[in-house]
Amino acid sequence: MGKKLIAIEPRWWVVVIASGALALGYVDQEAVAVALPTIQRDLGMSPTELQLVVNAYLIALAACIALAGRAGDVFGHLRVFRWGVVVFLLASTACGLSGSVIGIVLGRLVQGMGAAMMVPNATAAVIGAFDPRSRGRALAFSVSIAMVFLTLGPPIGGLLTSLISWRAVFLVNPLLGTGLLALMSRVLPAKDWPPPTAPRGRIDWIAMPLIVLGLGSLTLGVMQTRQWGWLSAGVLGLLATAVVCLVATVVWERRQPVPLLELGLLSLPLFSTEVLVVSAIRFAVSGFTIFSVIWLQDVLGFSPLATGLSQLPFLLTLLPVTLYAGGLFDRIGARLPVAVGTVAISVSLLWMAAVLDRLSYEQLIAPYVLLGAGLGLAVSPAITDLLNSAPEGARGQTSGLVQTSREVGAALGIAVMGTVVSHGQAHRVRQLLTGEDTSPGRVAEVERSIGAAVADPASARIPAGLIPALQHAVTDAVATAYAVAGAVTGLGALLFLWRSWAVARADGSARSHR
């Protein structure tokens, strides 16, 4: 066994370790998503609190990922990555042992910080280990290994939740992470780590709190519109704070000699467009991941395990298409796979929105497959192309900028789609309760009880005759959210096609004048 380990090239061990880091994040993301309805019922969470469990992780990830990328450039990508794994494992343990909403939310915040240290530095380490001609294949291979765990995430989450507890979903991370650290210490000892890619220098600590406050205020402001109203002082104050902080971030970063977010990269041809596209995809897919699980359990009555298995058509398609897209990128570049993939994602979400009211999982299998194919085609080539365009000493910063943009998209996707679902569902429930108690408390109680009523009508505090109408209320709200996600990715596809055509035309014109 030892000889086999030594026989593998060190650069491919970097790929294996990076894949392990992505696997930790993917397993956590997918397994927690499957467990969310159970966590909500067990702790009596409101829809807003449920969104906070997800968005606390995403906000911390988005706010810290650029700083972690810069730290990786300065101190070494593998060093920062290893500390990120440790932080992630400790936070996962805290989440699994927590008995309150605030405990889980705080644990998820720290988990996001740990993930922020892992993700950009794992990606940058792979990019640095391979020459430009081989990076597409190496990164696609890394992502594909991680996607095996992405595929296993929902069944693992469902199995652990059904047989043990939702707490086991968090406590499985230390087992995986400890194995990863042990493997890393054996095959990539610290003495063999590559040197930092950037000279020691000042790290910008001001931008991170501005990003945290700005993004946190924006997502919380959107999520609280149902309770407070769009024109309430609280919502307007949060949105105003978000605008001030995010504008201040841009102004501050443009004045820094070594900024946390290298905004100058956005001036490169197609760079800003590709960033917007991958952010739009993350917006849509993050919302889909959460609300597809809630819909399957609350409307169709799937168990957590059945819900996890139901995601396999999407995930099993994603894996081989991602591998294919990596090789395709090495041959023809990013433009065709990114364009086709983004269009496929948009079509799949609009397709789901159109058939969801049939209350049939079988009707969703084909659009699930199309979604997996589109995601596999678009994301890996787009991210590889973005990282290839960066100077060698700024790969960590570039990865940080790209990942920050993606996680901002994810947080906004869950906040916006959650708001669409929450408003639509509450409005319909109030209509159905006409003549009864329609107070906010009663409406919230009915919403929380829909899943339990579908699973066991006899034990629910909802009239049995009302359950089918409530199922359609949830379905209509989720279908509207899918349509919003499809429209966002559709606009991203149109923007990318237009900008690709404009850049190609400009390149052709420049060559003809030489």
Q: What is the pLDDT of residues 133-173, one digit of tens each?
A: 766 677 777 766 766 776 778 888 888 998 899 999 999 88
The whole-angstrom separation of Cα 316 and Cα 391 is 35
Q: What's the rounded mean pLDDT across residues 6-25?
A: 75
Q: What's the rounded mean pLDDT across residues 212-233?
A: 80
Domain containing residue 363: 2-191+258-508
Q: What is the pLDDT of residues 362-400, one digit of tens each?
A: 999 999 999 999 998 998 888 888 877 766 666 666 776
More confident position, 3 or 274:
274
Are residues 247 and 270 part of one domain?
Answer: no
- Res 334 pLDDT > 90: no
- Evaluate whether residue 196 is within a structural domain: no
Q: What percent of the chain has pLDDT over 70?
A: 83
- Res 4 pLDDT > 60: no
Q: What is the pLDDT of residue 202?
A: 65
Q: What's the rounded mean pLDDT across residues 160-189?
A: 85
According to DSSP H, which parts of 333-394 are helical? 335-355, 365-388
The whole-angstrom separation of Cα 442 and Cα 446 is 6
- Res 487 pLDDT > 80: yes
Lowest mean pLDDT among 150-154, 250-254, 271-275, 375-379: 150-154
Residue 358's pLDDT band, with cuts at 50, 70 and 90, is very high
Residue 2's pLDDT band, with cuts at 50, 70 and 90, is very low
Give Cα separations from 350 to 23, 237, 286, 355, 366 (angstroms).
29, 34, 16, 9, 12
- Evaluate whether residue 514 is within a structural domain: no
Q: What is the pLDDT of residues 81-116, one digit of tens each?
A: 889 999 999 999 999 998 888 999 999 999 999 988
Tokens at 254, concatenated: 């443009």
Report the b/e string of 190-214 with b at 16+ CB within 10 A. eeebeebbbeeeeebeebbebbbbb
Judged by DSSP in three states, 490 sits in helix
The whole-angstrom separation of Cα 445 and Cα 448 is 5
Q: What's the rounded mean pLDDT across residues 36-40?
A: 87
Q: What is the pTM of this model?
A: 0.80
Are residues 298 and 220 part of one domain?
Answer: no
Q: What is the pLDDT of residue 241?
A: 94
Are residues 361 and 287 part of one domain?
Answer: yes
Closest among 198, 189, 187, 197 to 19, alpha carbons compared:
187
Instruction: Report CA torsion sign: 130, 112, 28, 282.
Output: negative
- Evaluate whether residue 513 is within a structural domain: no
- Res 197 pLDDT > 80: no
Q: What is the pLDDT of residues 396-413, one digit of tens each?
A: 667 767 878 888 888 888
Q: Write the single-letter amino acid at 53.
A: V
Q: What is the pLDDT of residues 416-474, one digit of tens each?
A: 898 898 888 877 877 777 666 666 667 766 766 676 666 666 666 676 677 788 888 88
Cα end-to-end distance, the chain, whole Å: 58
Are residues 355 and 212 part of one domain?
Answer: no
Mean pLDDT of the residues in the chain: 82
Max CA pair span of the chain:
79
Judged by DSSP in three states, 189 sits in coil
Are residues 91 and 15 part of one domain?
Answer: yes
Burial class (CB in 10 A: 0-12, 13-18, 19+), 474: buried
Are residues 119 and 32 part of one domain?
Answer: yes
* CATH, residue 267: 1.20.1250.20
Are residues 209 and 88 part of one domain?
Answer: no
- Res 3 pLDDT > 50: no
The whole-angstrom separation of Cα 485 and Cα 353 is 10
- Evaluate whether residue 243 is within a structural domain: yes
Residues in the chain: 514
- State the DSSP code for 194: P
Q: What is the pLDDT of residue 278?
A: 92
The whole-angstrom separation of Cα 300 and Cα 95 is 28
Q: What's the rounded mean pLDDT across residues 276-280?
A: 92
Residue 512's pLDDT band, with cuts at 50, 70 and 90, is low
Q: What's the rounded mean pLDDT across residues 312-341?
A: 84
More confident position, 333 or 514:
333
Residues 435/440/442/443 CA torsion (nearest 10 deg): 80
Q: How many domains does the chain have?
A: 2
Are residues 274 and 248 part of one domain?
Answer: no
More confident position, 319 or 118:
118
- Give the range with max mean pLDDT: 13-27, 129-143, 245-259: 245-259
